[in-house]
Amino acid sequence: MSNLYKNAMQARIAKLPHPDTLAPFQNSEDEESEAADSIGALPGSGLGPPAMQVHLHGHSPSISPANNPRHRKPHAPKPEFAPISAAGFFKEAAQVAVPSRALDVRVYHTPAPAVDGTVMVCHHGAGYSGLSFACFAKEVAALSKSECGVLALDARRHGKTTSTDGNDEDLSIGVLVDDFFELLKTIFPDPSHSPTLLLVGHSMGGSVVVQACPRLQEAKYRIAGVAVLDVVEGSALEALPHMHSLLNARPDGFDSLEEAVEWHVSTNTIQNVNSARVSIPAVFKQVDKGPFPYTWRTPLRSTAPYWTSWFKGLSNKFLAARTARILILAGRDRLDKELMIGQMQGKFQQMVVPGVGHMLHEDDPTRIAEIMVEFWRRNERVIVGVKKVGEL
């Protein structure tokens, strides 16, 4: 990376709570704590997979040891599910102060080689963190020969993002979009010298990036495209009435991070063991009191008041985005009527990835990275006068 680009990036990642503007991963306490972070999935179409397809220790959800502390028999942590540091997946991590939102936002970043390159900006789904894109980020770097960067963030009340005023309960879509927009303004304050941004959002994050797109364009940022991962308005809204009963099947906590990783893999919530070992520790916090040493950092039931706001109107806003659009799904039966009509009219590109669940970017990060790198190459290097994929 040139000194010019280093200086530019140092000017963009602003006001960190430590002396380094950009903090490369090191063999330090930060790396150890990174390996000890995690969050889970919201079950249901558009929000997450069914909670208990397989049950630890052969128990059904109603009598699971994790849900019944009196019957729980802690077992020794299994090394094959031990947390893995994110240091091998991103070049740097930082806390970015966003005073206008009263947040210190955790970001994970692998920069593009040039200041005018392209960066995929990734927003996770409900209950997860930016580390759900860790394996994906590594694959993008390899497949693009490091030409395309990746920036992943932890949303408010998720991962290592913290509130500076103690008021971060509101997770409505408007708040999340404002957070995302102001974070990018903080990191890239001058749109004319910002890299081109390719917005990628999983589930809830798909709604955030879709609604942030026109605001970023109005602010003169260059947007190469918008990618939505495994969420469709119609099926997501239909699933909401069933969410609470499905959440009842989730353990309230775990005895160790290894057990938490094992549960996510055993239930097929995440099929890729290595990805789960990186991402799941970030969605848990260690507590001193209570029956479980590790509990969910973002209890999904507490986000229920905001579920409808996340998905209502998503299809129309996605189709109205003035940029290239791609929808990547884990199943063919998830398009609602509005998207079916839009697809027949060629308004967006659709890809279906077989053999994956809702966490498709964790289950098969190589395939998702291949799709996104191809999408980037086709739309970022488009010939003047030729329309982008999915753009009328």
Q: How many CA atoms lie within 13 A of 323 on its CB side?
A: 30
Q: What are phi and psi of 74, to 5 degrees?
A: -55, 140
Contact 348, 359 (CB under 8 A): no
At CA 126, angle to CA 301 and CA 315, rounded to 5? 115
User: Catalytic residue at 358?
Assistant: yes
Is position 235 annotated as part of the catalytic site?
no
- What are the structure tokens assigned to 243, written together? 């969410």
- For the four alpha carbons of 277, 283, 287 and 292, in that order, the dihedral sign comes to negative
Query: Which of 136, 190, 187, 125 has its CA nearest to residue 159?
Result: 125
- The position carrying tokens 């930016």 is 130
**Which amino acid does the sequence have at 375?**
F
Confirm whether 62 is a catalytic residue. no
Query: Which whole-number Å values give the CA distances from 161 to 106, 298, 327, in the listed order?
Result: 5, 12, 28
230, 255, 363, 364: the catalytic one is: 230
Q: Spot the catalytic one: 194, 203, 235, 315.
A: 203
Structure tokens at 121: 């900006």
Q: Spot the catalytic one: 255, 358, 361, 363.
A: 358
* Coil/strand/helix, residue 284: strand
CB 349 within 8 A of CB 117: no
Task: Pull the structure tokens for residue 323.
Answer: 């940029």
Positions marked catalytic: 203, 230, 358
